[in-house]
Amino acid sequence: MEVKKKDPFQLHVNIMKSQCMQHLGQETHSYTGKHPYPQQELDEELLSSTGKKREKETKVCDLCKFDDLQETAIGFCINCTDFLCKSCLVNHKRIKVTRSHIVLQGDEMPTDVEPFRQLRDLVKCEFHPEYDMTFICAEHSTYICSVCVTEKHRMCKLGTISALHNEKGPEIDGYVKESLLNLQARIVQLKSNQETYLKRMLEDQNRAIAEAQDIAQQRIEEINTLTLKVVDEITELGKTETSITKSRINDANYINQEIRRMHRIMETAHKYGSADECILASRSIDANAKEITTKLCALETSDQKHFSIDNLQEIHKLNRLCDIRFASAVKNKLVIENASDELSDVLECDELDKHSDTCTVRDFGTQVWYETSISKCNKEVQTLNIACVSEPNIQATRPLTHHSMPPQGASKHSVRSFMERSVTKTSSKFKIKSPNDEFNCSVTAIKILSDGKMLVADRQNKKIKLLSPEFVILHECVLSGPPIDLCVVKDDIYVCCFDEKKVVRFFIDFFGRLCQTGGYPTKFWPVSISHFEERVMILFLKQSGRFDLNEPESVEIEIRNGSKIDAGLEYGPEDTSSSSEDGEDDHYYIDWAKRILTVEFGSVVLAENNRISCYGIDEFQKKIGDRKWYYKYYGSNPLDNARGITSDSEGNVYICGSESNNIHQMSSENYRQNRILISDIKRPYSVCVDSKRGRLIVGCCQDNRIHVFYFQ
């Protein structure tokens, strides 16, 4: 039989805990902040925690029960855990085996014997319950009885429990008492916190209901105001059209009177006039009739209008008035501060597990390796054969229209992956310049919303624009600086302007309008932003006005939760002298980065001038890990001045070459599978994939149009 190992000190800890933990029930006192509790105060708390104090009860002798006798007990043996009557107590003291037992009498007799019985269970040998544990085996780290010594521990190094008690007993007792006092204080504090939280939560619930009702009332008032406005507009239009119609009726009456008058003149001339009078009358009436005919034709061709009501915001799509979040405002610092090292380790491991990738990578210690035959990136060509590269796309000139349809063969529901599908050689072009735009549009960012609408950042005109799925401008908002990038996190839209040290936040209101809801200042100049779980990751330049330069700059990368900086990520070797351009340092090219894109959990892709790289993110160490892979095209049509970057629903990455006038595509499963998707498009600056509709949307510099290519 295998001997179960135990901590040499754990038994004494368990003994002390067993005497007190039974009393830890519901509390009736609030923790006053004093720590630790005085012993007397703790004893009172433990007595009150049971909800009632046990009254003295008449005990009967446990030994006499075997003879069906009900003798009143006058003593209690803590060794046998039995109540004894007067006769049995006398015999108990006479017998040699029980003569040394400790007997409690009178007021010392316990009202609850369970702690004593549990104590006896703790000191009994696990393998020989009839014997007490009296020895400690240092080699097996366990407590044993005398029988265990003869059976399995004859050759072991042994010690006695009594010797351990004489050496470390007071220290252990003090430690256990201190631990119990700490537990008691935390339980009292926990209950107080939860009662306060319950009261506050109910108040907060009523407040939230009142706010929701206020929002509903505001919406009702807005609808009533808009209804009155619509009624006034309809009434005004009706008055105008009624006046015009009555004027036409009056003209018709006048023409009818003229016709009757000329008819009477003709009859009079034929009956009573001479031949000359008849001829003159006929010619005069004929001339007047032609004029009347012209006027009558104008009246007959007048447009009969009708009121047409277009529903700008469909009410049945308004399935909620506001977003409700039950978020944690303040963490429970008491639990974290008092948590043991083991608990802290578990919490950290759980947090790490949330960010670990279990699909495409394997963890070996602290390093992450891709499950491919290549364990480290090299500087060789990382492309497919030239046959895999798509043919050059020639831009055809076609009329601008807002109703262009996908060409035949472009399926929205293709079962093939995006890497296997080609795109149309020509693009549909949609004009996005507003009548009040002062300059040509330069689209620096495009994002697809969940309802199919699009957000575009127009750098030249300092605007963000909301487009319909058919690329019709629904609303636009003017910014104080030129927007360079934007991202969407739930209902919030974050925009960064590269010449301002701040990030602006927007949302789309009930009427489909872009509304600014705030923002926060930043230490450096933000040039790119991407969602990171429910937060954002921002790429900063430490110097202003350097975004358009194709030179390495000092950059900063931060993970932010609103205005709160969760982590400022460091990169590069500790010894900067070891970094070199030949790639010995994986982080050398980060200083060239102008665009950032978060992909899988714990990974980020950076656009670094003539290449892109994927790095691991260690949020807890607050640093950028080693490079996982990088892409650089060495053919005749390379990537130059990488700017816009995005991914599709399959995780494939797309990147714009602003100076090379092309768009590259990389597989999400193997970065060595890549191609030039579009090889001839003038100065592409932003790219976005509408995966649901099978569209590749491209925005260019100094171009008033959006270019749409269809996957087929």
Q: Which neighbouring-strand residues pair with 707?
A: 429, 698
- According to the model, what pLDDT value does residue 56 have? 54
* pLDDT one-digit tens code per residue, 599-654: 876 789 999 888 899 998 887 888 888 888 888 887 778 899 999 999 999 999 99
State the chain's mean pLDDT as an integer.
Answer: 78
Position 324 in a domain? no
CATH assignment of the domain containing 542: 2.120.10.30
What is the side-by-side strand order in the sheet with 612-618?
Answer: 595-598, 603-607, 612-618, 623-631
DSSP code for 60? B
10 or 627, which is more confident = 627
Query: In the numeric block, which tokens belong to residue 139?
Result: 């080699």
State the Cα–Cα distance between residues 69 and 592, nearest whole angstrom: 95
Tracing tokens 């007190």 back to the chain, one arrives at 20
3-state secondary structure 154-208: CCCCEEEHHHHHHHHHHHHHHHHHHHHHHHHHHHHHHHHHHHHHHHHHHHHHHHH
Stretch 290-301: mean pLDDT: 83
* Residue 595, pLDDT above cutoff 90: yes
Given a cut of 70, whether residue 433 has pLDDT beyond it is: yes
Residue 206 lies in a domain: no
Higher pLDDT, 565 or 32: 565
> What's the token pair of residue 426?
């020509």
pLDDT band at 161 (very low <50, low <70, confident <90, very high): confident
| Average pLDDT over every residue of 490-501 | 91
| Residue 29 confidence (pLDDT) above 60 | no
Residue 147: inside a domain, yes or no?
A: yes
What is the rounded CA–CA span in Å between residue 147 and residue 1?
14
| Digit-coded pLDDT (tens) for 338-367 | 444 444 444 444 444 444 433 333 333 333
Cβ contact 612:631 at 8 Å: yes
Q: What angle do CA 313, 319, 324 make, to 5 degrees?
A: 120
Residue 191 belongs to a domain: no
Average pLDDT over residues 485-514: 91
Residue 539 has pLDDT above 70, yes or no: yes
Q: What is the pLDDT of residues 231-269, one digit of tens each?
A: 888 898 888 888 888 988 998 898 899 899 998 998 898
Q: What is the pLDDT of residue 607?
A: 92
Residue 498: the pLDDT is 82
Does any domain span residue 192? Answer: no
* 674 domain-assigned: yes
**Mean pLDDT within 100-105:** 91
Q: pLDDT higher for 109 or 376?
A: 109
Condensed to tens digits (0 to 9), the pLDDT of residues 368-423 reads 333 322 233 333 333 333 333 333 333 333 333 333 344 444 444 457 889 999 99
Q: Of 180, 195, 221, which residue is a domain's last?
A: 180
pLDDT score, position 35:
44
Domain end residue (candidates: 180, 196, 221): 180
pLDDT over 60 at 45, yes or no: no
pLDDT of residue 478: 93
pLDDT in tens, 434-481: 989 999 999 999 999 989 999 999 999 999 999 999 999 999 999 999
For position 198, what pLDDT does the model report? 92
DSSP state of 72: B
Domain count of the chain?
A: 2
* pLDDT tier for residue 144 given thresholds of 50, 70 and 90: very high
> What's residue 319's pLDDT?
59
Distance of alpha carbon 672 from its chain centroid, rounded?
31
Residue 308: phi and psi, rounded to 5, are -120, 120
Say if 229 falls within a structural domain.
no
Residue that finishes a domain, picked among 141, 161, 180: 180
SS3 630: strand
Residues in contact with 592: Cβ distance below 8 Å, sequence separation at least 6, in sequence order: 550, 551, 552, 553, 608, 609
Mean pLDDT over 213-227 rounds to 87
Reported confidence tier of residue 514, pLDDT bands at 50, 70, 90 = very high
pLDDT for 325-338, tens place per residue? 666 554 444 444 44
Q: Is the pLDDT of residue 685 over 70?
A: yes
Domain range for 166 is: 10-180
Please give the share of the chain, as a percent, with pLDDT higher than 90: 33
For residue 228, being part of any structural domain is answered with no
CB neighbours (10 Å) of residue 368?
19
